[in-house]
Every structure is written in structure tokens, then in C-alpha cells.
Amino acid sequence: MADNAVYGSYGWAGYIARVDLTSGNITTESDEELQDLYIGGMGFANKIMADEVPAGTKWDDPENKAVLAVGPLTGSGVPLAGRSTWATLSTFTKDYLIVDAHCGGTLGAQLKYSGHDGLIIEGESESPVYILIDDDKISIEDASAVWGKGTRETTEALCKKHGVDCCVAAIGPAGENLLPYACVMNARSHSAGAGLGAVLGKKKVKAVVVRGTKAVNVADPQMVADLSDYMLNEVLGSNNNHVVPSTQQSWAEYYDKGSRWTAAKGLYWAAAEGGPIETGEPKPGELNTVGYRCMKSTKDLGPEAEKYTVKMAGCHGCPVRCYTNVAIPRVKEITGYSSTGNTCVPNFPVSSYMPGIAPVAGLTDDEGTLTDLSVIYNQVVSGVVDDLGLWCNYAQLYRDIAHCYAEGIFERELGDDYADYKFEDFFNNQDPTPIVKILTDIAMNKKEIAYVGHGPLVWTERWNDAKWYDDAKSCLINYRGWPVHHAIECFGQVGGLYNMMFNRDDMIHSAVNFQGCGLPIDLKRQMAKEMWGAEDACDPDKAYTPINDAKIEFAWWSIVTDVLHDSLTLCNWVWPMAMAPEKARDYRGDLDLEAQFFTAVTGKEVTIDDLYKAGERIMTLQRGYSALGMTDAEGNVGCNDFRNVHDVITEWVFEKDPDIKPFEEGTDKMDRDDWSKALGMLYKRFGWDEELGCPTKQCLEDLELDDLATKLDEAGLLVDGGDAYDDRTRTYDGILADYSANNPALA
Amino acid sequence: MKENTALEHVGSGADRLDAFFTRRGFVKVSGAFVTALAALGLLPESAAAQPTSSQGQIDYYATPSHVLKINRARCTGCQRCEMMCTLKNDGVSQPAASRIHVRDGFLFGKELGSGDGIYYSCEWNIRQCHMCTTAMCQTACPHGAIVTDESTGVRSVDPEKCVGCGTCAAACPYHMPTVNTVTHKASKCIACGRCAEQCPNGALELVEWENVNHASGPTKQENPDPLISEKQDYVGGGKIK
């Protein structure tokens, strides 16, 4: 325990920086009053947006803000606490409502070490600038020399000026040119999406440069260390917390070929410096091999990627190394970039999302195995989009490009430009090079093709293709403009429900981690009973049963854990620790770890139920704030009918698999009545109005969201009713403690 | 040149012989004595090769018990080592004050143009204390604030004496000590091994002392790729027309 007088308060840095680009004023303010209710990260950023940006503001108005925030656990030494959350108004979904953009890399940790829990960017600059945060010193600097540059070149230039130990989070041409699909990049390939890049571009902010040399003060450093050791030794799995290996291994009772625990004997980081490094068979309890478990390059790109694999990497503070790092001569020849790689869509944008819509020649061999050409196609796109600062709306960009090509929409709409893009060469002639121009023109936002980067809300109307929403191949899950992010294919109604909650794709992984963890369904159902009240919370894939209370509890838990993690900040791509690789603990995870780490770091005694309540509060805050800005059927601003206006799932989920009925084996299609009932049950679980899905007077009071209640009341959007918190919630504290004998916090 | 007061701290001569023979401690003896010991095979030859001071004596710096051995090809850049180091030794998480350094090389290696870092070779140096036989940090400290543990031979910073001047960091060939920007005190590795315990890739290993000066991997690529910023208008993988 270090001196507060020297190192400041525990957990939080205690201050948020505010940079007003219009006036040039730079100030800092205490965040102490936000800490208990809103935690940090998403909670802070949403609260600040809700308080300061009037409902109905458009994303490109000067009144819109971009708020970056981290939480008490960020950079504290807690495993997987390297993420950060931005909030701003959506550039690409209906009504420009609030969205969160999460990113890893080194941005969050550096911001925290600079002595700030957040950065509020407001107003607009007249000329290109970047914001420099060097510990306490914050300044607005001239960015004219890097305006027009890609994110790589910008990072190099600003690191040359300010030091290679800085984190540069930059927009590329996409952001500068206000493309709604623009993102902010740091550490080569870590992106904060959701149009954030366009918001910064409108404000003429080329980059945020941060160097932090200060400390995160920790109330009980020994407990943070002990809990970390415990977690890494026996609770943590691989990426997505998959807890069994993907191949049969001597130590493992189970294996599952879908698992992201992909290390194996004979599988190498073959391009490692000094000779190949075998991923081998890292076992539970071997703390020093955790970072080999996830061999992501071959998992995503196929066996041909092995020879290009230098190593894995990832976010600050995370022992699960899920980021591919490949050095591919052909990609370097095409793009100029020595290394590329990602962990998510930009790692496999072509091979995973295009062939099902428009065949791409040469990506697979006769047996269906991904080829060397596939590796090159994917990594050319990966390098190019990251440099352009071009986001994809969780792969929607790639599905839409394939669709618009295959259906002749591009040929019809792009005029004389069409021939220049050489789509034929890209799709049919095994030539990856045309994609560079295609993506660059989208990012530059000047030619017709760029509308595909405005999102389906815009281009389907402009190019007269609204029916695309109702095609299962589109993967669009909501008419407001976002695609599936582990939706009905993930425990049926559970995934479907949480895909409706936000104003973009949900990015919730709590449920899909459990789905893909590799444990047998019978065991999962036993675990589901312990965690969510009944085995029926989870069904086998494509063998779904009607909605029930346990499924609703599972959906609620998936939402609040995700929101909590985005606030603490922890990586929801691996957290929560619902399962574990250790047979000795019957594969049970440890759901109390967030709370135990929180207490060890901040010194504040909490239970996991306290933190889940905070997650529910932050979700409800976003919901209420969205009601204030949402337009109704007549176009009036202010609408609380979420059921009919916001949470409208696309038709294909009811229409797919026409020969099979809902709840029969072999389909994950939804039943309309069951879906309608499920929505009402989830609303009730949150204390919201069962019909409308909006926050009620009761739940706002229970969650201490008084300001929001007042605003909703003034707008005529506040409704009575709603179950009292104590009547609708259950206790999670200590729920898996019987399996957690080695947990040092229980000693 | 200021007197190296660190020598006074550990004393000199025969009262340190026990430590001397176990390759621990830190002694100042006559050159003739060292030469004699070396001839008897009781000292490594390098000891006798140490420079002689104007007083006709040599400083012999016996080696610490342990040193970190690193393999940069295995490092995946998570930087948990830095957080674990400072949690144990400072009670806070503060990578910039860590006694092991990954963060400053992660993006571009040792320097822009090295051909290293996540943007280029995906290699970067894990910079660790070499536990030098001749510890320049200690020799250079004008306040004798870097002291030797008599049982392990490991040097550490005495915060009571340290004034945060940074001479240690400047004197170290690897610039390993850091001056904490919050406490304004220097810190250096004490071979506690906590960083290695938490390294998820086993890139760090605490071993019995050996010379690791040439074991850290290259500090730049032999033929580094040119910087993207040196290729004019290279955006998105091609020239923007």
C-alpha cells in the first residue's frame, strides 16, 4: 500500500481532462463524484455525454463530444485491464444516438498513467490539431504536417517528435474525410470504431498523443498480485476464455476444434527471430505459457499463415495474446507494410465474410482449406484499412462490398468508376491488389463507392436495396443499421435480445465465450443452473426451447457484465470468468473476481452484485438517454417505444430455414410470439416498462438516476410501473466460491 | 571526480573475504592480492584485468547472485512484467518506474528506423539490468545511494540517500535505472524475479548470474525496412493521386 499523499487516490487517477477546441481552453476536473455510481470507462463516458450533449444533437454538430474514459482497474496490474471506452454520437445508425467505441492497445493504460481517467474533446478546431497529453501537461498542437497521412505515418511522425514511448491514437484519411465508418487507431491495429474517427475528423483532431509516467495507486498490491497469480494459474483460459484445447492433448479431458486454445505440438511461430518457437501444449497451472495458448494466425488464416507468424501480441496488461503478427513479403510488396495482423474482423475480412455472398477464387483448396492466397488477401485488407483508419461495422463493409458486386449494384451505381476498381480481378482472377484502391476510395469519401462506408442505413436507400436487411446473408440484425454480433446463433433468444440493446452492434462476449468454451453441453447446463438459476438457461446449438426465466437471467447477466467490463475497464472478449480450464475445480470459473480485484485496487469493499447493479445502472442510463434523442414514427425527437422503434429484429430471423419450425432441431430461427414475450421479460428484468422497454420511474429511483428521470419526465417520456430492484434481482455473490478454494481473497 | 562513497558503505579488505570467496559482496583490495588470488584459481581472470586506480589498488566488483535472462523473440509485449515489478517493489502499478523496460520499445524498437517494433519486425528489446560486474550506476552515483546487499551482491537504491539526479541512469551503458517522476527517486532491478514469475510467455528467466551483455538480442535489424514516413504519400498501401 503506497502513500496516498505521494501517489494519489487508489484505483482512479481522480481527474478528467477537458479540451475545448473552439476556445482552446484546457481544464481538468475531479471525477470523484462519478466513481461510485458510474465506475469509469463506459459509465463515465455515457454519463458525461448524457449530461452535456443535448438529445437531438447530430454527430457532426460542434455540440457533439468525444469522451474517452478508463476505469479504476485500467493499468492497475489486474489481468486484461488494458482497454478503454469512447462515447460519442453515432455517425451511421438511426438518429445519431450514443454509441461506445472500445479499444485496446496501449491508449487506455497510457491515459491512466498520465494521471487522467478521461478526456473530453469538445467544440471544433478551425485547423488540424492533435491533443498532446504528457502527464499533467496538456496542449493543443498543430497537425497540419500530418493531415492527409495514414495512421502509420502519423504515428511515426508524432513519435519522432514526442518520443517512441508515446501512444498515438490517430485518424486516417477516412476520419479526415468524415466517412461515417471511420475509426481511431493505436498501436498499429487497435481500433475504436463506430464512426468515432469521423467525429474527431469533424473536430479536426488528427490524433491524441499520450505519455503517462505516473502510477496507478493500489490499496492492496499484494492481493492484486496474488489474485492475478490465482487467476492465471487456474481460472483463465484462452481467447474468449475458451478452456479446452482445439486438438486432443495428453493433459486435457476435453477438446473442441472450434476452441481458440489453439496451441499444439508441431505448431510454430515459424518466423520468430532466431528460429521457430513451438506453441506446444501449454497446460493449466503453467503461468509462463499462458501466452502461447492462443495461436491466432493459423486459427484465423489457415495453415499457410504459420510460416509468416512472428509471434502473437495484444493489448496492454493482457496475458492472453490474441493478436496475430505476421510478416508477409507479398503483402509488404503490395502495401509497403512490414507487419500486419489483428485479432478480429480485420484479420480475416475476405475469407470469412465475402465468399458466402460472392465467391472469391483461389481462397480455398479442393478440401476447403484456406490457401496461401487467402492469407495474402486477408492481410492486404488488414494493413490497408488500419492505415486508412477505416472501420467495417463488424464486417458489414465486407459483406456489403461482396453483395453490391455480386448483385450488380456497383456496376449499376458507380458509373465510369466501376471499371477502375477491377472487381473481376479481385473476385475471379486471384489478384488482391484492386482492393487497395477500392478501400482507399471508400475512405476518401469523394466517389460514389464511398456510400458503402456510410452504413446500410444510407446506401440501401440510395441504391434502392432495402430488401438486403431481410436477407439472412446480410447478417443485419436491426433496421437501425447494425449487424449481428453473436446473435440468435448464440443461445437463441439470449443472443438475439442483447443484440437489440445498444445503438450499434453489441460487442457482448459473456455469452458467446460460454457457448464456445469447449465444455460439453451437459456440463454447461449444470453450470448454467448454478449461475442463472436453471439448466434451461442454455440449449444446445440449433436446438432451442421457448423463452424462460433462466434465459432471461442469462441475457441480463450477459448485458450487465459487458457494460461493467467496459466501465472497469476489463476485456469482455475474455472476462467474465464463468468457466475455467482446471479439472480440479470442475471447470467452474470464479464470478467474484471482478469485485475482489476492485476491492484490492480501490480499497472499497464491494460484492459482484454491487458491480452488476452499476452495470445495470449504466445500461439504463444509455437507454434513457437514447429515448430522449430517438425519433418516433412521425419523426419527432423523443420516443420511449423501444419495442416498436428500437428493438426491432430483422425479418430473416423468423423466415430462415423455411422447412423447419422454430424450436425444432436444426435451426436457430425465432418464433414471433416467443420473441415478443422474450423482449417483455427482459424489459421486466431490468425494471423497464414491459411493453415499451423504456426505463420506469421505479427503476430510475432504484438506480439513483434522478437526473435522467427528470429529463425523461420533462420530455413526457417517463412512465410509472417497473418492478422494484429487490424484487427482480438475484444474488451472485459467492456463487462459485465452493470451487474456488485457492482464491486468496477467500483465505 | 567525486569519491565513490559506495565503497565506504561496504568497507574494504579482509573483513569481506567470506563474501569475496562466494562471489558475493564488493571489495577493494590491492592489485597484488587480486593477482595472487587469480593465480591460485580463486578468481576469474577478468578480475585481475580490472583497471588499477591511482592508489595502486583495483576495485573488484563481485557479481550479484542472479540476473534476468531474456528472450525477446518470445516477448509478446503485454508489459505485465512492468506492472508486476512496481506492484511488488513500489506498491503501485507504474510501468515508467519499472526496473524492466518493454513499453518504450514496443512500437518502434530502440528508435525510429531500427526496423523493430510492432509496426515493423514485431521484435523489441526487453531491457533488463545486466547486473554488471562493474556497476557504473553505483560507481557514478554522487551520493553513494546505490548500495550492495552483502548476502546477494545485488545493488539497490537507498531512497534515503537518493536525490533523483539521474546520474545512475546516464552512467549505465543500458540506461536501466529510472528516476520515478512521482517520487523523484531512482530505482533499479534487485533481481526479485517477480517480472519473470508473471511473464505469460516465459520470455524472462531469473538465473544464477552469468554475463548477459550479449544475450539480449539485436538492438536493431541488420537491414531495417525504411520507415513508412520516408515513403512519400504512402497511404493505405499506395500513392494517393
Assigned C-alpha cell, A117: 481517467
Distances (CA, A) of A642 to A50, A482, A560, A636, A694: 18, 16, 19, 14, 6
Instruction: Name the E strands within A378-537.
Output: 476-478, 482-483
Region A121-133 average pLDDT: 98
pLDDT(B241) > 50: no
- How do B178-179 and B186-187 pair as beta strands? antiparallel
B104 touches chain A (CB under 8 A): yes
In this structure, the answer to whether residues A19 and A147 fall within a common structural domain is: yes
Q: Is residue A489 part of a domain?
A: yes
Which pLDDT score, from 0 to 100, does residue B37 have? 56
DSSP state of B157: E
Work out the pLDDT band at A2, boundaries 50, 70, 90.
confident
Which of A78, A114, A283, A311 to substitute to test the interface with B, most B CBs within 10 Å? A311
pLDDT mean across residues, chain A = 97
Which pLDDT score, from 0 to 100, does residue B2 have? 38
In this structure, the answer to whether residues A303 and A188 fall within a common structural domain is: no
Q: Do B122 and A384 touch (CB under 8 A)?
A: no
Which pLDDT score, from 0 to 100, does residue B16 have? 34
Cα(A646)–Cα(A97) distance, rounded to whole angstroms?
11
In this structure, the answer to whether residues A521 and A438 fall within a common structural domain is: no
Q: Do B92 and A221 touch (CB under 8 A)?
A: yes
Which pLDDT score, from 0 to 100, does residue B150 have? 86
In this structure, the answer to whether residues A440 and A487 fall within a common structural domain is: no
pLDDT per residue as tens digits for the range A397-425: 999 999 999 999 999 999 999 999 999 99
Q: Is residue A609 part of a domain?
A: yes
Gap from B44 CA to chain A (nearest CA, Å): 31
Work out the pLDDT band at B8, boundaries 50, 70, 90.
very low
Q: Is residue A741 part of a domain?
A: no
Region A13-28 average pLDDT: 98
Which of A4, A239, A288 to substitute to test the interface with B, most B CBs within 10 Å? A288
Work out the pLDDT band at B236, boundaries 50, 70, 90.
confident
In this structure, the answer to whether residues A566 and A668 fall within a common structural domain is: yes
Gap from A144 CA to chain B (nearest CA, Å): 14
Chain B residues with CB inside 8 Å of A173's CB? 235-236, 240
Distances (CA, A) of B37 to B30, B31, B41, B46: 11, 10, 6, 12
A640 touches chain B (CB under 8 A): no
Burial B125-144 (b: 16+ CB within 10 A, else e): bbbbbbbbbebbbbbbbebb
Which pLDDT score, from 0 to 100, does residue B51 have? 40
Region A442-467 average pLDDT: 98
Q: Do B236 and A225 touch (CB under 8 A)?
A: no
ipTM over the 0.90 cut-off? yes
Region A210-227 average pLDDT: 98
Q: What is the CATH number of the domain that holds A687?
A: 1.10.599
Report the residue from A215, A232, A311 with minimal CB separation from B93: A215
Cα(A605)–Cα(B161) distance, rounded to whole angstroms?
38
Q: Do B198 and A160 touch (CB under 8 A)?
A: no
Which pLDDT score, from 0 to 100, does residue B58 have? 47
Q: Which of residues A196, A211, A226 is at a domain's end?
A: A211
Which pLDDT score, from 0 to 100, does residue B62 have? 59
% of chain A residues with pLDDT over 90? 99
Question: B149 burial class (0-12, 13-18, 19+ CB within 10 angstroms)?
Answer: middle
Residue carrying C-alpha cell 497529453:
A133
Q: Is residue A224 part of a domain?
A: no
B182 touches chain A (CB under 8 A): yes
In this structure, the answer to whether residues A186 and A262 fall within a common structural domain is: no
Q: Do A288 and B199 touch (CB under 8 A)?
A: yes
Closest CA to B89 of A628, A598, A2: A2
Residue carrying C-alpha cell 474456488:
A740
Q: Where are the domains of chain B?
A: 5-60, 66-208
Least confident piece of the model among A165-179, A562-576, B14-28: B14-28
Gap from A300 CA to chain B (nearest CA, Å): 18
Helix (H, G, I), strand (E, B) or coil at A482: strand
Length in residues, chain A: 747
B74 touches chain A (CB under 8 A): yes
Q: Do B73 and A135 touch (CB under 8 A)?
A: no
Which pLDDT score, from 0 to 100, does residue B41 have? 56
pLDDT(B18) > 90: no
Distances (CA, A) of A552 to A493, A494, A557, B27: 9, 7, 8, 72
Work out the pLDDT band at B63, boundaries 50, 70, 90.
confident
Which pLDDT score, from 0 to 100, does residue A501 have? 98
Which pLDDT score, from 0 to 100, does residue B234 have? 63
Q: Which of residues A351, A371, A394 is at a domain's end?
A: A394
Cα(A746)–Cα(A632) distance, rounded to whole angstroms?
51
Gap from B188 CA to chain A (nearest CA, Å): 16
Chain B residues with CB inside 8 Å of A290's CB? 200-201
Closest CA to A652 of A507, A463, A494, A473: A473
Gap from B72 CA to chain A (nearest CA, Å): 8
Chain B residues with CB inside 8 Å of A155's CB? 107, 119
A576: preceding bond cis by omega (within 30 degrees): yes
Cα(A120)–Cα(A436) distance, rounded to whole angstroms?
34
Report the residue from A164, A172, A321 with minimal CB separation from B111: A164
% of chain A residues with pLDDT over 70? 100
Work out the pLDDT band at B17, boundaries 50, 70, 90.
very low
| B 105-124 residues inside an 8 A Cβ radius of A | 105-109, 111-112, 115, 117-123
Q: Do B240 and A159 touch (CB under 8 A)?
A: no
Dihedral of the alpha carbons of A599, A86, A494, A492, in degrees to the nearest 10: -140
Which pLDDT score, from 0 to 100, does residue B212 have? 85
Chain B residues with CB inside 8 Å of A213's CB? 94, 96-97, 181-182
Report the residue from A2, A155, A436 with minimal CB separation from B91: A2
Q: Is residue A220 part of a domain?
A: no
Cα dihedral sign for A92, A93, A95, A100? Answer: negative
User: How many Cβ pairs closer than 8 A exist between chain A and B?
Assistant: 234
A569: preceding bond cis by omega (within 30 degrees): yes
| B 147-176 residues inside an 8 A Cβ radius of A | none
Work out the pLDDT band at B23, boundaries 50, 70, 90.
very low
Report the residue from B105, B194, B236 with minimal CB separation from A387: B236
A109 touches chain B (CB under 8 A): yes
Which pLDDT score, from 0 to 100, does residue B35 have? 55
pLDDT(A157) > 80: yes
pLDDT(B19) > 50: no
Closest CA to A239 of A347, A320, A301: A320
pLDDT(A461) > 80: yes
Decide: A341 and A323 in contact? Cβ < 8 Å. yes
Instruction: Give the domain range for residue A528.
Output: 482-506+508-571+574-728
pLDDT per residue as tens digits for the range A61-83: 999 999 999 999 999 999 999 99
Region B214-241 average pLDDT: 75
Which pLDDT score, from 0 to 100, does residue B28 have? 46
Cα dihedral sign for B136, B126, A215, B191? Answer: negative
Cα(A685)–Cα(A348) distance, rounded to whole angstroms?
37
Options 3.30.750.24, 3.40.640.10, 3.30.70.20, 3.40.50.510; CATH of B66-208 = 3.30.70.20
Q: How many other CB atoms sit within 10 Å of the CB of residue A454?
A: 22
Region B56-65 average pLDDT: 60
Assigned C-alpha cell, A463: 441504391
pLDDT per residue as tens digits for the range B28-52: 444 455 556 555 655 554 444 444 3
Helix (H, G, I), strand (E, B) or coil at B140: helix
Q: Is residue A107 part of a domain?
A: yes
Which pLDDT score, from 0 to 100, does residue B49 have? 40
Helix (H, G, I), strand (E, B) or coil at B92: strand
Chain B residues with CB inside 8 Å of A426's CB? none
Burial A566-582 (b: 16+ CB within 10 A, else e): bbbbbbbbbbbbbbbbb
Q: Which helix (DSSP H) or strand (DSSP E) does residue A629 occupy?
A: helix A608-629
pLDDT per residue as tens digits for the range A669-721: 999 999 999 999 999 999 999 999 999 999 999 999 999 999 999 999 999 99
A318 touches chain B (CB under 8 A): yes
Cα(A562)–Cα(B66) distance, rounded to whole angstroms?
43
Number of structural domains chain A divides into? 4
Q: Is residue A399 part of a domain?
A: no
DSSP state of A483: E
In this structure, the answer to whether residues A500 and A648 fall within a common structural domain is: yes
Phi-psi region of A163 (alpha: psi -120 to 50; beta: other; left: phi over 0): left
H helices present in A630-731, as ranges: 652-655, 672-685, 697-702, 706-714, 725-728
Which of A7, A164, A296 to substitute to test the interface with B, most B CBs within 10 Å? A164
Q: What is the CATH number of the domain that holds A22?
A: 3.60.9.10
B237 touches chain A (CB under 8 A): yes
In this structure, the answer to whether residues A566 and A420 fall within a common structural domain is: no
Q: Is residue A403 part of a domain?
A: no
In this structure, the answer to whether residues A319 and A434 fall within a common structural domain is: no
Q: Do A312 and B90 touch (CB under 8 A)?
A: no
Cα(A194)–Cα(A207) distance, rounded to whole angstroms?
17
Find, in chain A, the residue whose alpha carbon is nearest to that of B225: A338
Which pLDDT score, from 0 to 100, does residue B7 have? 31
Find, in chain A, the residue whose alpha carbon is nearest to that of B202: A288
pLDDT per residue as tens digits for the range A602-653: 999 999 999 999 999 999 999 999 999 999 999 999 999 999 999 999 999 9
